[in-house]
Amino acid sequence: MKLLIERLCAIVGADGVITSGAALATYESDASQDRGTPTVVVLPRSTAEVAAVVRTAHEQGLPIVPRGAGTGLSGGAVAVEGGVVLTTTRLNRIQRVDLANRIAVVEPGVVNAELTNRVAPHGLYYAPDPSSQPACTIGGNVAENAGGAHCLAHGVTTNHVLALEAVLIPSGQVVRVGGPAPDRPGYDLMGLLVGSEGTLAIVTEITVRLLVRAEGVATVLAAFDGVVPASEAVSAIIGQGIVPVALEMMDGMTTRAVAAGLLEDAGAVLLIECEGLREELDDKEGPLATVQAICRAHGARDLRIAFAAADRNALWKARKSARGALGTLAPNCYVHDGVVPRSKVPALMARIEAVAAEFGVPIATYLHAGDGNVHPNVLFDARRPAEAERAAAAGEAILRACLALGGVLSGEHGIGTEKQAYMSWALTGTDLRTQARVKLAFDPDERLNPHKLFPTPGFCGEVRGASRPPG
């Protein structure tokens, strides 16, 4: 251990190595319920330092767990078996903004909101906007293929990443995939790395696409008596051929928690954002007017429209603070992010209500309703073991319902440690073995973010053993 610490200090400096118990506790978890104590935490400042740390950890036979800001919700940054937690928050430079080509080159520790703030004076922005946008890093967003409220029309992280620089394990080799021009020949290795949850390589540089801010933007708040009519309004809007920039829903419990004047007695609230030319938004037969008419036709009992940036931001602040606001209702929150086809949202919401009654736990739900990405928050007190067990069982029942309705386990939070046991529900053995072989191609010793994604801790090793010829 002493030799390891000396070598790491020589690479990143003594101020970039954390070994004390109290300080290590800060890195035991992300925003999920899982815990794991690192052997050591390292905070490099350059790609070269990342590569050197990778080689040192390999020589010492230690696993490496990449970590960003720790806002992830699936246990992806948890050091399950200890080892080196490599934190990228000091790789936090916006290296270049190319206004002519509308791209930016950033390091993984750049906070998501900081990039949009940097380019806002030029009428540009970075589209992926998770609720943790003021704190989460773009590197973490790449690892989880994060989305956000404003990704319905423009897509999630993978739709906005053009190129990556990454360090491979165990050699520390630095590679570049993708590029500023689209549709490069060969395998889509960049697409493979985005969303790989830090299990294939450590990303050290990201080239992203920037979008032009629309001339006109309007946010509609619509209050309904329940989630069923609100869900039906969502389907009707999309069915009309209108794809808003954002189409969000909060159930009654969530709305009451966030307060902020959002019609706290409503059974459900929709936040719908439309953008375009000012003339389009003013058109009495345009998309914005049609959205309002559809909401009224489906029973909206209150409609509010915000055009000014300050007014729109006030509405979105309430939505993006939803998870934090639920802390006023219970000390712990077990959140999932299953996805179902948009038309199945009412059925899933009904099932969530039934699960809450069956397991005796309150469940507050908000969702990216436009793409069927549902976030049920099971509220409980972890100090009461029986309550924690019921919360976990309720979460499992909801994920089973998502799959039964033709959906998937995760829309943006990732699998991590939280959902790995459920992967066999969603994928065949052949699917899992194929993915395990991809993992082994990048990480033959299974030391990069181990015990994530796959259903058993030794799954990749089992596949490797099974693939050996007899004798």
Q: Write out pLDDT tens, residues 56-96.
A: 999 999 999 999 999 999 999 999 999 999 999 999 999 99
CB neighbours of 168 closer than 8 A, spacing ≥ 6?
54, 174, 175, 201, 442
Residue type, 17: V
Nearest to 254 by CA among 359, 313, 337, 325: 325
Query: What secondary structure, in 3-state letters, does the chain show?
Result: CHHHHHHHHHHHCHHHEECCHHHHHHHCCCCCCCCCCCCEEECCCCHHHHHHHHHHHHHCCCCEEEECCCCCCCCCCCCCCCCEEEECCCCCCEEEEECCCCEEEECCCCEHHHHHHHHHHHCEECCCCCCCCCCCEHHHHHHHCCCCCCCCCCCCHHHCEEEEEEECCCCCCEEEEECCCCCCCCCCHHHHHCCCCCCCCEEEEEEEECEECCCEEEEEEEEECCHHHHHHHHHHHHHCCCCCCEEEEEEHHHHHHHCCCCCCCCCEEEEEEEEECHHHHHCCCCHHHHHHHHHHHCCCCEEEEECCHHHHHHHHHHHHCHHHHHHHCCCEEEECECECCHHHHHHHHHHHHHHHHHHCCCEEEEEEHHHCEEEEEEEECCCCHHHHHHHHHHHHHHHHHHHHCCCECECCCCCCCCCHHHHHHHCCHHHHHHHHHHHHHHCCCCCECCCCCCCCCCHHHHHHHHCCCCC
DSSP category for residue 267: S
What pLDDT was estimated at residue 265?
85
* Tokens representing residue 139 in the block: 């590197």
Average the pLDDT over 132-159 and give the result: 95
Mean pLDDT in the chain? 94
* Contact present, 33 and 389 (Cβ < 8 Å): no
The domains found in the chain, sorted by start residue, are 1-213 (3.30.465.10), 216-323 (3.30.70.2190), 330-421 (3.30.70.2740)
Average the pLDDT over 147-168 and give the result: 95
Average the pLDDT over 340-344 and give the result: 93
Residue 195: phi and psi, rounded to 5, are 90, 5
What pLDDT was estimated at residue 262?
63
Average the pLDDT over 236-254 and give the result: 95
Average the pLDDT over 290-314 and give the result: 95
Q: Write down the pTM of the prediction.
A: 0.94
Checking if the pLDDT of 468 tops 80, the result is: no
What is the rounded distance in angstroms from the CA atom of residue 276 to the CA atom of residue 240? 17
Checking if the pLDDT of 424 tops 50, the result is: yes
Average the pLDDT over 357-376 and give the result: 96
* Contact present, 465 and 212 (Cβ < 8 Å): no
Task: Give the angle subtended at the CA of 460 by the CAs of 458 and 464, to the nearest 5°.
Answer: 115
Encode pLDDT of 132-145 as tens digits.
999 999 999 999 99
Q: How many other CB atoms are found less than 10 A from the CB of residue 22?
A: 7
Average the pLDDT over 94-114 and give the result: 98
What pLDDT was estimated at residue 320?
87
What is the rounded distance in angstroms from the CA atom of residue 206 to the CA atom of residue 458? 31
Checking if the pLDDT of 6 tops 50, the result is: yes
Average the pLDDT over 359-387 and give the result: 96
Average the pLDDT over 320-335 and give the result: 92
Encode pLDDT of 168-221 as tens digits.
999 999 999 999 877 778 899 999 999 999 999 999 999 999 999 999 999 999
What pLDDT was estimated at residue 261?
58
Say which residue, 372 or 260, is predicted with more confidence: 372
* Tokens representing residue 314 in the block: 């006030």
Checking if the pLDDT of 469 tops 50, the result is: no
Encode pLDDT of 432-449 as tens digits.
999 999 999 999 999 999
What pLDDT was estimated at residue 471?
36
Structural element, H or E, at residue 191: helix 189-193
Checking if the pLDDT of 260 tops 60, the result is: no
SS3 20: coil
DSSP category for residue 413: S
Average the pLDDT over 307-323 and give the result: 90
Nearest to 350 by CA among 401, 293, 426: 401
* Contact present, 221 and 123 (Cβ < 8 Å): no
Residue 211: phi and psi, rounded to 5, are -110, 155
